[in-house]
Amino acid sequence: MVGRGPTGARVLVLSLLIILTAETCRAQKGDGCGPSVLGPSSGTLSSLGYPRTYPNNTVCEWEISVPRGHRIHFRFAELDIENKDCQVNYLGLYNGIGPGRTVIGKYCGLGLKVKDLNESTGNQVTVQFMSGTHHTGHGFYLSYSTTEHTDLITCLDKGTDFPEAEFSKYCPAGCLTSTEEISGTIPNGYRESSPLCVAAIHAGVVSNAVGGTISVVSSKGIPHYEGTLANNVTSTGGTLSNSLFTFRTNGCYGTLGLESGGVADTQLLASSVWEWVDGEWAATGARLKRAGLPWGPAHSDQHQWLQVDLKKEKRITGITTTGSTLREYPYHVSAYRVLFSNNVQQWSIYREANSTQDKIFQGNINYLHEVRNNFIPPIEARFVRINPTLWHQRIALKLELVGCQILPAGRVKPRTFPTSRHTPPHAGTKRPPDLGQTTHTPDIRNTTMPPHNSQDVALATVLVPVLVIVLSALIVTVVCAWHWRNRKKSSEGTYDLPHWDRTDWWKSMKQLLPSKMMESEDSVRYSSSEVGRLTGRGAVPRLHAEPAEYAQPLVSGVTTLGARSTFKPDEGPDPGYSDPDLYDAPISPDVYHAYAEPLPASGSEYATPIVVDMGCHPSGGTSLTQPAAVCGFMGAGPASLLSRTDSGQSGRSAYDTPKNATGQATEDLTYQVPQSCTQKQTGQS
């Protein structure tokens, strides 16, 4: 929408075209003409009441001329005329002006889509809209330009209509006649659903009176779009969208020093000053975003002005204004003119291109929010004056000028990026303001995602995975080291037995497991630390004994038996008494516990597996004779074997005493070996 707010109707009237009378343009006539702008090389036409239904029995003709040697082409934004034969209601395009004109084409129909450009044969064209009796139809809305602008679009084309990441289009003059809304502002960008040409006017890229080429950059959307008023266009706020678009410019949009202090107080001058109980509303208070009283004249009339001296000629591309910004003084300027000069003697009033009337800029609609207006074409001058023409209650104004330096060749000073941060002066050092300094001119584009970021994306693509891998490896290393350290501490002082072997429930479960599994599980393992401690105490007596034939593993065909100890159980005072775990008992300094001594190299004399031959053949590697009792023992079956080995009433005579290295019997050792099968047979007989 155009000029929303208290002065919306007035601004709408000001923004409509005043028909140009130069050679490059003609006029419109009739009672059916809608809002139209006939620019020197482009324009916009619409039916009366668009986008509502056009009235009955009306007619309108537009006569358009462009410079000689050029031709004109048309692009339809919408064509919705009720009639199928184009006899009563239609839109006609004609080559030439006057009685000698020839027909280019007639168009009618509801919702008619015309995608092709309609081109004239010369530099003059007549557009005629005829309306008879009808019941529906929006009418028409079209744009035109010279044929050199092959990329002409309409005022209704949106960012979503062009999927390219970067593209260039030509906007016609007069797009403020559109009723479409935009969302967003510069430099953050506009929602992709906003009309491109209306957003370009809001951004100050093109003028509504002239139109022009726009360079569009599309990128990812942002969570929130700010709503602002600029160049007679009010943008609305909005929430997250998938994408947005911004515009490329020459970058001449830097602040010129009022807010930053680059413009000294002596460079600000006013026609008069209002003195009130709170203080003086002097010209020095007219600095945008500065706290305090604004500038206010002693009398509010159209002869008041505020002057800014830039010390030298600069290119000025825009102005931003606010009201008093004070709640207790809700004053603001709602319209103003801009004058400029280089010598303070001769002043010029700003006008738009190809216009003979002074430009009246829309001011603020309240005392607080900022309003921006751009100068197209820009002003090149040293002195600038603001002349209020409309205000609310009293004149109150704060402002900032935007622009850039002018190079000797007339080129705009390019945008520069400092390579390092500015180092502030030492405390107590006072530096005078740089009166000739111009702030860096920001480019109007999306700052959240620059268009040329292929190198940054490639660098991020490489660095992110590398950082993730390095951090993951570091975390895994720390966790493994911590786990290994805790495990080492928990196993210190033990015989490296599995955790379940050191628990009571596993000992009870052993009775139910096969003997072969238990044989592998019951073997005692010694930690390197324990063996080193034992060997360091002195020579360990070696035990020599021939290989025993008890506890040999059963051959196939015999039922697997549960494991039983090959040592004599300690006799305690109470049958139900169980000795404490001998693994945890401390080793006496005088007597080495036999459990903790390594086995001799000649082989184990006790705890040797038993090999039972089902055929009663002697076990390989032994010189003992296999007695018949063994065969009978095997024939008795597992129950008999279990009862014989499990009996606790065999007495002490059923065990032999292990021998030491000299062959002498050792009585004080706890290891005792059961008698061989031959000895048992002799004792029984």
Residue range 568-611, pLDDT digits in tens: 454 544 444 444 444 444 555 554 454 555 555 555 555 555 55
Q: What is the mean pLDDT of residues 13-35?
A: 58
Q: Which residue has the higher pLDDT, 475 or 649?
A: 475
Q: Which residue has the higher pLDDT, 549 or 259?
A: 259
The answer, yes or no, to whether residue 251 has pLDDT greater than 50, is yes
Q: Are 36 and 17 in contact (CB under 8 A)?
A: yes
CA 112, CA 103: separation in Å to the nearest integer? 19
The pair of structure tokens assigned to 537 is 């105490």
Of 207, 208, 89, whose CA–CA distance to 140 is shortest? Answer: 89
The answer, yes or no, to whether residue 208 has pLDDT greater than 90, is yes
- Compute CA distances 472 → 34, 133, 463, whole Å: 68, 78, 14
Reduce the DSSP state of residue 75 to 3 states and report it.
strand
Q: Which residue has the higher pLDDT, 374 or 629?
A: 374
The answer, yes or no, to whether residue 294 has pLDDT greater than 90, is yes
The answer, yes or no, to whether residue 636 has pLDDT greater than 80, is no
* Mean pLDDT comparison of 99-113, 237-251, 300-314, 467-481, highest-scoring range: 300-314
The β-bridge partners of 38 are 43
Name the band, by pLDDT with cuts 50, 70 and 90, for residue 540.
very low
Name the band, by pLDDT with cuts 50, 70 and 90, for residue 150.
very high
The answer, yes or no, to whether residue 528 has pLDDT greater than 80, is no
pLDDT for 602 equals 53
* Mean pLDDT comparison of 396-405, 434-443, 496-505, 550-559, highest-scoring range: 396-405
Question: What percent of the chain stands above pLDDT 70?
Answer: 60
* Torsional sign, CA 424, 430, 434, 439: positive
For every residue of 563-576, DSSP letters joined together read ---SSPPPP-SSTT
pLDDT for 648 equals 41
pLDDT for 161 equals 94
Residue range 462-475, pLDDT digits in tens: 788 888 999 899 99
For the ranges 114-123, 272-281, 607-616, 634-643, the lowest mean pLDDT is seen at 634-643
Q: Which residue has the higher pLDDT, 434 or 168?
A: 168
Backbone angles phi, psi at 625, to 5 degrees: -85, 135
The answer, yes or no, to whether residue 207 has pLDDT greater than 60, is yes
Q: Are 491 and 527 in contact (CB under 8 A)?
A: yes
Name the band, by pLDDT with cuts 50, 70 and 90, for residue 660.
low
CA 187, CA 185: separation in Å to the nearest integer? 6
pLDDT for 606 equals 54
For the ranges 279-283, 535-539, 638-642, the lowest mean pLDDT is seen at 638-642
Q: What is the mean pLDDT of residues 622-646?
A: 41
pLDDT for 47 equals 94
The answer, yes or no, to whether residue 163 has pLDDT greater than 60, is yes
CA 372, CA 508: separation in Å to the nearest integer? 89
Residues 6 or more apart whose CB falls under 8 angstroms from that of 299 comprise 272
Q: What are the counts of helices (DSSP H) followed by strands (DSSP E) for the chain?
A: 9, 34
**What's the whole-model pTM score?**
0.60
Question: What percent of the chain stands above pLDDT 90?
Answer: 48
The answer, yes or no, to whether residue 300 has pLDDT greater than 80, is yes
pLDDT for 454 equals 47
- Compute CA distances 419 → 346, 422, 447, 448, 455, whole Å: 42, 9, 18, 20, 18
The answer, yes or no, to whether residue 623 has pLDDT greater than 50, is no
Name the band, by pLDDT with cuts 50, 70 and 90, for residue 619.
very low
pLDDT for 562 equals 46
pLDDT for 510 equals 55
The answer, yes or no, to whether residue 8 has pLDDT greater than 50, is no
pLDDT for 586 equals 54
Q: Which residue has the higher pLDDT, 338 or 530?
A: 338
Average predicted confidence (pLDDT) for the chain: 74
The β-bridge partners of 220 are 243
Neighbours of 72 (CB within 10 A): 27
The pair of structure tokens assigned to 604 is 């184990």
For every residue of 610-647, DSSP letters joined together read EEE-TT-PPPTT--SPPPHHHHHHHHTHHHHHHHHHH-
CA 652, CA 671: separation in Å to the nearest integer? 13
Q: Which residue has the higher pLDDT, 543 or 312?
A: 312
Residue range 51-81, pLDDT digits in tens: 999 999 999 999 999 999 999 999 999 999 9
* Mean pLDDT comparison of 347-361, 390-404, 487-501, 619-633, highest-scoring range: 390-404
With b meaning 16 or more CB within 10 Å and e meaning fewer, what string describes 623-652? eeebbeebbebbeeeeeebeeebeeeeeee
Q: What is the mean pLDDT of residues 418-441?
A: 38
pLDDT for 77 equals 94
